[in-house]
Amino acid sequence: MTVTAPTVEPSADQPLLDLLSGFISELRNAGLPVSLTENLDAMEAVTHIPLEDREAFKYALGATLVKNHAHWRAFEVVFEVYFSLRGPEYSIVDAGESGDPAADDTDEADMAGDGQAGSGGGGMSALTPEQLAEMLFKALMNGDDAMLRALARQAVMRFAGMEPGRPVGGTYYLYRTLRNLDLDGMLDRLMEAARHEAPNDLTRLEEHLERDEFRDRLDRLKQEIEAEIRRRLVADRGVEAMAKTLRKPLPEDVDFMHASREELANLRKAIYPLTRKLAVRLARKRRHGRKGPLDFRSTMRHSLSYGGVPAEPKFRFPRPAKPEIMVVADISGSVAAFARFTLHLVYAISSQFSKVRSFVFIDGLDEVTGFFEGVEDIGEAVHRVNTEADVVWVDGHSDYGHAFGVFWEKYGKEVGPKTTVLVLGDARNNYHASQSWILKEVQHRARKVFWLNPEPKAYWDTGDSIVGEYGTWCEGVHEVRNLRQLEGFVENLV
Amino acid sequence: MADHRFADVSGIRKALSDAKYLADDGTAGIVYLADRLGKPVLVEGPAGTGKTQLAKSVAEITGARLIRLQCYEGLDESKALYEWNYKKQLLRIQAEGDGSSWSDVEEDLFSEEFLLTRPLLEAIRAEEPVVLLVDEVDRVEVETEALLLEILSEYQVSIPELGTVEARQVPLVFLTSNGTRELSEALKRRCLYLYIDYPDLEREREIVSAKVPGVDENLADQVARIVRSIRQLDLKKDPSVSETLDWARTLVLLGIDQIDAQTATDTVNVLLKYRTDIDKVVKEFADNPAELTDTSA
């Protein structure tokens, strides 16, 4: 087989090729590692795909360009932006909606069943908000996708208040639209109706199933709305500008301190496979690292087959010493998410350490090792740390000095030459006394002290941050703003 | 272009579903591309979502022979590619009298007659159409991955003593991975990437209907819905498709056609394999969780 260069039919596909190279460079801007060969593969792949089949086209590009599932969402967004204006059912239709035969036909057919055919798809803009909400309720109740799509479009047109040329991001419009639709209230209403319709009372199982079904439909509605907003923005501002504003960091690059709720949820999902991968990799490294000392017994035993000449030396299985870890984490509001992820990661690979002890503080300090002992679900334990640990001493504002004082007084003796101490926090001490002599003492006793700071390096030692002062007494101060950096640090630590 | 196996994407989907493999749009499209571009497919996804089955089903619909290389830690050249049959070579030397010259013997010893083919070489040398399945490629070490590179991009194997063995036909290659480690860039670059996730509600229902004999529409629907709800919970190990099928079979065997909370919690150990997960599900779904855990204990 020979790979033909992507010069196939250049004349006919020239606009497509241009579009594709723009698309690929945007993928690279979004952080996806697209190599030249993959680029060529994609160009060749699309020549085999009928262009009018949008789904197949998307999967062809996905299969050749995206080699990591975590990047799929980013790919989808860019794809939407670049190719959203193609295909009849995705065209933008203003007020009348008359130029949208595909969607309207199905709408009308479906609504005829509901006895509302009179208004039809075309007349939706004439509805009152109450009627619209009612239709939405019905569509959600029946799981009517075509209707949902039409309603999403209508909702965006009506509530988002999009103005051409206004430099506002898509999330703003999304927020405005969703606020008007009141989807939480909608969910309650749907559940109420489901309970009403059921012959008997719903059992908890049934209730659960119904709720998940409705949530699923609501999610689909949200996606439709989002897509619609995106389409309109692209039409207004052009592809390149839009792609830039919609660009989102990949999960491993999301900043802990500024992650939105959705991003945090994604992070939590990303951390499971990450810890598993890390554990496998570390275990392998440990086993394959180097050979242990000479195993005299085994060597002699094997020498028998060479007539007593020890021709084949045998070595013991390597057993490198495992470090003992003490994690001291600031869990005050601003850095809580960071502490949570780090604790999670450290405990997930705790088999790589001989012992892990953890302490959390805000202005008081509490040992939380017990929460993790014998617990299978680390996420649950981390949650308990955040809710149950006794970490407030005076006012619940970070006080590193006092927290270190408590640590030194209560646990200082237990820091030994095998212990590696990790301090997690932004070192924003609210202008309290730094008590950095404690850290000096700790460093003196411990094997190593590392400080992990979730703030960008440029902000260190500005305002009330005194990471520089503490850093003097640490083997290393690392900027750990995202999962990628955290993973890198933990791997080096072991 | 007569040597392509498939005419179009919908044809593949149809053939696969006839073989009781219900592919989503992406899957069929990528199999089609793999054939057209002559590229291997790297299939990733959670365990038990039908990655290996995809290769088997494709072999079935194309009428090709399936050659399977199961990967494991410590897999090496002699297990994956080829090995010299040294016992036979020894015999050959001993059988030789004093008459023949060394160069004759040497030439003879390293001929195809003394070559033991292992799965990768076998797939290359096959005359008939084959599907090569490299299963759980994430289990081999990064260094061993390099063994695969030549065969995946050039469809050839270089044997120092013999020269290069080129493929007689381009096999369809599937590599599966459970994602326990990141595969090397070099490997990924040579492959088309397919991620098979848990199916959505509709497809899971169809899979249950197609694969479990004696299941009716209503039960399949309930099974699929409950499994979806269970996957929404934050579990250690989500139920896979194969476990869903096991569960559906169990329910059919028990003669259950309506799943209530009691039956669900009683049989949920087919679906979930961790104590904590089971407890969590019981707590979420049972009407009276305390009572149920007592009886099950």
Residues A296-320 pLDDT 10s = 888 888 888 888 888 888 887 766 6
Q: Do B9 and A376 touch (CB under 8 A)?
A: no
Query: A-side interface with B, Cβ within 8 Å?
Result: 1, 33, 35, 37-38, 41, 44-45, 48-49, 53, 55-56, 59-60, 62-64, 66-69, 72, 203-205, 208-209, 212-213, 216, 273, 276-277, 280-281, 284, 288, 376-377, 379
User: Rounded CA gap, B152 and B156, in Å?
Assistant: 8
- Interior CA angle at B260 toward B255 and B261, to 5°? 130
Report residue A250 as tokens.
């990949």
Chain A's closest residue to B73, CA to CA, is: A284
B40 close to B8: Cβ distance less than 8 angstroms: no
**What is the distance in angstroms between the Cα of B220 and the nearest Cα belonging to chain A?**
14
Q: Do B285 and A212 touch (CB under 8 A)?
A: no
- List the single residue in A56, A67, A276 with the smallest CB-CB distance to B188: A67
Q: Do B189 and A49 touch (CB under 8 A)?
A: no
Which residue carries 């991001």 as its tokens?
Answer: A169
Strand partners for A360: A329, A366
Q: Which helix (H) or strand (E) holds A328?
A: strand A324-330
Q: Which residues contact A441 (CB under 8 A, 6 or more apart)?
A: A408, A412
Report residue A271 as tokens.
């951390």
Q: Which amino acid is at A40?
A: L
By C-alpha distance, which of A131, A105, A101 is closest to A116?
Answer: A131
A-chain CB neighbours of B191 within 8 Å are 67
Chain A's closest residue to B202, CA to CA, is: A213
A355 close to A397: Cβ distance less than 8 angstroms: no
Minimum mean pLDDT range among A154-168, B52-66, B258-272: A154-168
Q: Is the pLDDT of residue A106 over 70?
A: no
Which residues 191-220 on chain B approach chain A with CB closer than 8 angstroms? Answer: 191-195, 197, 201
- Interior CA angle at B266 toward B262 and B272, to 5°? 125
- Other CB atoms within 10 Å distance of the CB of residue B165: 20
User: Rounded CA gap, B52 and B176, in Å?
Assistant: 7
Minimum mean pLDDT range among A313-327, B70-84, B112-126, B244-258: A313-327
Which spans in chain B are helix H? 9-18, 25-37, 51-62, 77-80, 86-95, 102-109, 119-125, 142-154, 185-190, 201-211, 217-232, 241-253, 261-267, 275-285, 289-296
> Does domain A268-289+322-493 match CATH 2.60.40.10?
no
Which residues 81-120 on chain B approach chain A with CB closer than 8 angstroms? Answer: none
Chain A's closest residue to B222, CA to CA, is: A209
Domains of chain A by residue range: 10-83, 89-248, 268-289+322-493, 291-320
Which residue carries 């209230």 as its tokens?
Answer: A185
Q: Do B33 and A277 touch (CB under 8 A)?
A: no
**What is the distance in angstroms between the Cα of A207 and the nearest Cα belonging to chain B?**
9
Report residue A125 as tokens.
């803009």
B-chain CB neighbours of A62 within 8 Å are 26, 193
Which residue carries 């491993």 as its tokens?
Answer: A252
Q: Which residues contact B187 (CB under 8 A, 6 or more apart)?
A: B42, B137, B145, B148, B149, B152, B175
Q: Do A277 and B141 touch (CB under 8 A)?
A: no
pLDDT (0 to 100) of residue A192: 81
Q: Do B276 and A69 touch (CB under 8 A)?
A: no
**What is the distance in angstroms between the Cα of A209 and the nearest Cα belonging to chain B?**
6
- Tell me how far CA of residue B288 lies from CA of B262, B265, B279, B293, in angstroms: 10, 11, 13, 9
A-chain CB neighbours of B264 within 8 Å are 205
Q: What's the pLDDT tens digit per position in A30-88?
A: 888 888 888 888 888 888 887 777 788 888 888 999 888 888 888 888 888 787 654 44
Residue B233 sits at the chain A interface (C-beta within 8 Å): no
Question: In chain A, how long is the greatest CA-to-CA distance?
Answer: 100
User: Rounded CA gap, B274 and A231, in Å?
Assistant: 45
User: Rounded CA gap, A12 and A8, in Å?
Assistant: 9
pLDDT (0 to 100) of residue A285: 66
Q: Do B261 and A204 touch (CB under 8 A)?
A: yes
User: pLDDT class for B70, splitting at 50, 70, 90?
Assistant: very high
**pLDDT over 70 for what percent of chain A?**
80
Q: What's the pLDDT tens digit per position in B183-226?
A: 888 888 889 999 988 888 888 898 999 888 888 888 898 889 88
B-chain CB neighbours of A45 within 8 Å are 33, 36-37
pLDDT (0 to 100) of residue A10: 41
Q: What's the pLDDT tens digit per position in B73-93?
A: 888 888 888 888 888 888 888
Query: pTM of the entire structure?
Result: 0.73
pLDDT (0 to 100) of residue A288: 58
> Please, how many CA atoms are within 13 Å of residue B122, restricted to the half-sphere of its CB?
18
- List the single residue in A48, A64, A277 with the smallest CB-CB distance to B181: A277
Assign B67 to helix, strand or coil: strand
Report residue A243 as tokens.
């792609």
**pLDDT over 90 for what percent of chain B?**
14
Assign A358 to helix, strand or coil: strand
Q: What is the mean pLDDT of residues A243-251?
A: 69
By C-alpha distance, which of A494, A32, A30 is closest to A275?
Answer: A494
Report residue A135 as tokens.
């239709």
Residue B188 sits at the chain A interface (C-beta within 8 Å): yes
User: Rounded CA gap, B260 and B286, in Å?
Assistant: 9
Phi, psi for A52 (deg, rounded to 5): -75, -15
Report residue B157 as tokens.
């194997």
Beta strands A324-330; A419-424: pairing state: parallel
A397 close to A332: Cβ distance less than 8 angstroms: yes
